[in-house]
Amino acid sequence: MSDSGEFDLIANYFTHRWPSRDDVVLGIGDDAAILTPAENSQLVIATDTMVADVHFDQQTPARAIGHKIAAVNLSDLAAMGAEPAWLSLALTLPKVDEEWLNGFSHGLREICEYYDCQLIGGDTTKGPLSVTVTAHGFVPADHALRRDQAKPGDWIYVTGTLGDAGLALAAQQQRVQISDAHYRRVLERLYFPTPRVAIGQSLRDIASSAIDVSDGLLADLRHILKASNVGARLAVDELPLSMALTESVNEEQAIQFALTSGDDYELCFTVPESKRGVFDTLMSRHPAKPTCIGRLTNEPHKIRLEHDGERWQGQLEQHGYEHFRTA
Ligand SMILES: [Mg+2]
């Protein structure tokens, strides 16, 4: 069979028994999809690409790649407070590998099922392995979370725990030695991140800004500081750390992982003092309960790190956290 004929068959992996939604008039199979956006809503759209040997290595299971490319896009929607609806996929493959396609489509479909998303279209081409997903979601008109509305005095929160994905990568590259049990746990976080979709939506009328932690807390918080023209004071002893992280490295290293390693896909957001009571009640029983880690200041773009109220410098060079990034 010719290459193009083989590549035509790929569509079968992405259509059989996948979730479908009422707002999709026409999905995969025509030149383009036809969709009915929800009334009184705004469309929120995000795109992310993952390239082999840049964003993941050859040992990454295909199912993890399928999960993660969808999860990182939904994480961006979560950071906007949006409800996910539709995904489209662009897939570049060196060859038609049925086992890989099975795993990849399985990982992607699991996310679509969990978040009630429909895959509405895609394209496959031959070339070096690379996957791109565009996620479409809705937010009630003018209620999206943004980066540019934070004010001095707002409290800074983060969901879940930080630094686990970075620890997994460090262990994989043998930069740190960790136990098998901890490795399994953090590898799960690197391969199968959980987008904080529900929390993102519940923050809509509460948070003054939000971002997802893809490049590391300091790097991502800086985007909020820049967009809102504020500074931040962070209590490094308040950073939420997993047992896997605290039992694998010393305190200073754990803080460094939490501040500078990427790929955690938690949400970092700010809450004004006036909304704090409502917020704490709302979040008290949430499984990924957000932790308050500091407060915004009126010193534009400055981040001051404190440990027990004292200035903390650690081993962080002023701009030296780039090399902790996972790619
Ligand atoms: Mg983002």
CATH number of residue 19's parent domain: 3.30.1330.10
Same domain, 112 and 34: yes
Low-confidence ranges of the chain (pLDDT < 50): 1, 317-327
| Domain assignment present for 148 | no
Let me know how long the chain is. 327
212 appears as a binding residue in the annotation:
yes
Q: Do 111 and 161 sit in the same domain of this protein?
A: no
Q: What are phi and psi of 282, to 5 degrees?
A: -60, -35
The rounded Å distance from CA 72 to ligand 1 centre is: 8
Is 55 annotated as ligand-binding? yes
Specify whether 274 is located in the same domain as 192. yes
How many angstroms does the Cα of residue 262 sit away from the middle of ligand 1? Answer: 11
Task: State the angle between helix axes of 164-172 and 180-191 in degrees (0 to 180), rounded to the nearest 10.
Answer: 110
CA of 176 to the centre of ligand 1 (A): 28
Find out whether 214 is annotated in a ligand binding site: yes
Distance 274 CA to ligand 1 centre (A): 26
Same-domain status, 136 and 221: no
Helix (H, G, I), strand (E, B) or coil at 30: strand
Tell how far the Cα of 93 is from the centroid of ligand 1, in angstroms: 26
Residue 242 assigned ligand-binding role:
no
CATH value at residue 254 = 3.90.650.10
User: Does any domain span residue 127?
Assistant: yes
- Note whether 134 and 278 are same-domain residues: no
121/179 same-domain check: no
CA of 3 to the centre of ligand 1 (A): 36
How many angstroms is it from 167 CA to the middle of ligand 1?
A: 20
Going from the Cα of 47 to the center of ligand 1, the distance in angstroms, rounded, reads 10
95: in domain: yes
Tell me the CA–centroid distance for residue 46 and ligand 1, in Å.
9
- End position of a domain, from candidates 95, 117, 140: 140
Q: Give CA–CA dist 280/299, Å, rounded.
A: 27
Q: Is residue 159 part of a domain?
A: yes
To the question of whether residue 20 is assigned a binding role by annotation, the answer is: no
pTM: 0.93
Q: Are residues 267 and 127 in the same domain?
A: no
Within this chain, do residues 67 and 119 fall inside the same structural domain, yes or no?
A: yes
Tell me the C-alpha to C-alpha distance, in Å, between residue 47 and each of 24, 50, 173: 20, 10, 28
147 lies in a domain? no
Q: Is 147 annotated as a binding residue?
A: yes
CA of 158 to the centre of ligand 1 (A): 14
**Beta carbons within 8 Å of 9's beta carbon, 6+ residues apart:** 96
Q: How far is the CA of 80 from the centre of ligand 1 (A)?
A: 9
How many whole angstroms from 107 Cα to the centroid of ligand 1? Answer: 21
Kindly state the DSSP code that residue 313 receives in the 8-state scheme.
Answer: -
Of 140, 164, 191, the domain-final residue? 140
My answer on whether 249 and 204 are in the same domain is: yes
The answer on whether 183 is annotated among ligand-binding residues is no
pLDDT of residue 3: 57
308 annotated as belonging to a binding site for a ligand = no
**Ligand 1 mean position to 215 CA, how many Å?**
9
Residue 79 lies in a domain: yes
Q: Kindly list the distances between the CA atom of residue 193 and the CA atoms of 27, 164, 184, 238, 303, in Å, as whole numbers in the listed order.
A: 27, 10, 14, 22, 27
The boundaries of the domain holding residue 111 are 3-140
Count of the separate structural domains present in the chain: 2
The pLDDT of residue 10: 83
Find tokens 């932790």 and name the residue.
Answer: 291
CA of 197 to the centre of ligand 1 (A): 13
Do 286 and 200 share a structural domain?
yes
Query: Could you tell me how many helices (H) and strands (E) the chain has, helices first?
Result: 10, 13
Contact, 286 vs 201, CB < 8 A?
Answer: no
Q: Please indicate if the annotation marks 180 as binding a ligand.
A: no
pLDDT in tens, 201-223: 999 999 999 999 999 999 999 99
Is 68 inside any structural domain? yes
Please check whether residue 145 lies inside any domain of the structure: no
Residues 120 and 189 in one domain: no
Measured in angstroms, how far is the CA atom of residue 44 from the centroid of ligand 1?
Answer: 13
Cβ atoms of 227 and 148 within 8 Å: the answer is yes
| Distance (Å) from CA 213 to ligand 1 centroid | 7
* Cβ partners under 8 Å of residue 80, min gap 6: 44, 46, 137, 139, 144, 145, 146, 200, 210
Q: Measured on CA atoms in the order 216, 218, 221, 226, is the torsion positive or negative?
A: negative
Domain co-membership, 108 together with 231:
no
- Asked whether the beta carbons of 123 and 90 are under 8 A apart, the reply is yes
